[in-house]
Structure 1
Amino acid sequence: MINVQVRGESGTIEARAKHGVVWSPELAGLDQSVFPMLGHLLPYADTVFNHRQVSTLLEEMPRLPPGVLTDEFAHELVELCQMVLGGQHLYLWFLGD
């Protein structure tokens, strides 16, 4: 399970998703040239996106094949992305198991 948090520059947790994303063949098989953000996630490592990377993530989400993300997680992810974009010195963290 990969969980998601918004963290401040000093590492404080500002928000977190209630749902996570399960590592699946669909997620693992994303073409990194088409999905440069989600295509680089790893199941057992943390991945951090800055403001500009979050913008790219939001652009790629509507193109995702069905079943890669649950509707609940996708909704929360958009909200967390918008929080990063609307704040200062905030980062989106994907936390692998």
Structure 2
Amino acid sequence: MQVRGDSSDVVARAECGLQWTSAFGDLNPGLFPMLWGLIPYGDAVFNHRQVSLLLAELDRLPAACGGDWVGQARKLCQVVEQGSHRYLWFVGD
């Protein structure tokens, strides 16, 4: 996970990554539209407006999808919210 600016410069990065499990694929897209969009082999980018939705989803995330990445994702969301032209990137394999 990284926060990047408009010119793709890395502003902040997580210390750990998201460990993909099949539980992510089982998320209900109606309840978790932001997280449901994640795939293990592709990038996902969240803008300033989407980050607030992502934070709400992290609050109700099933334990099977949790881990250290959740706290780090929250911190990176704050970095996005505190600046302009910043985006949260989930970088796939």
Same-fold call, TM > 0.5?
yes
Shorter-chain-normalised TM-score: which range?
over 0.9
Structure 1, residues 26-84: CA drift from partner, whole Å, max 9, x if none? 112111110010111011111111000001000111111112020x2111110000110
What is the DSSP-based 3-state SS (H/G/I as helix, E as strand, rest coil) of the residue aligned with 2:64? coil
Separation (CA, whole Å) in 1 of partners of 2:71 and 2:64 = 14
Does residue 66 of the first structure (1) align with residue 63 of the second (2)? yes
- The two structures have a TM-score, normalised by structure 1, of 0.92
CA RMSD of aligned residues (A): 0.8
Q: Which residue number in structure 1 is paired with residue 27 of structure 2?
A: 30
Q: 2:89 aligns with which of 84, 88, 93?
A: 93
* 1:1-97 matched pairs, under 5 angstroms: 4-70=1-67, 72-97=68-93
Percent of paired sites with the same residue? 48
Q: Which consecutive residues of structure 1, in runs of 5 or more, have no partner in the other structure?
A: none
Q: Which consecutive residues of structure 2, in runs of 5 or more, have no partner in the other structure?
A: none
- The two structures have a TM-score, normalised by structure 2, of 0.96
Runs of 4+ in structure 1 off by over 3 angstroms are: none
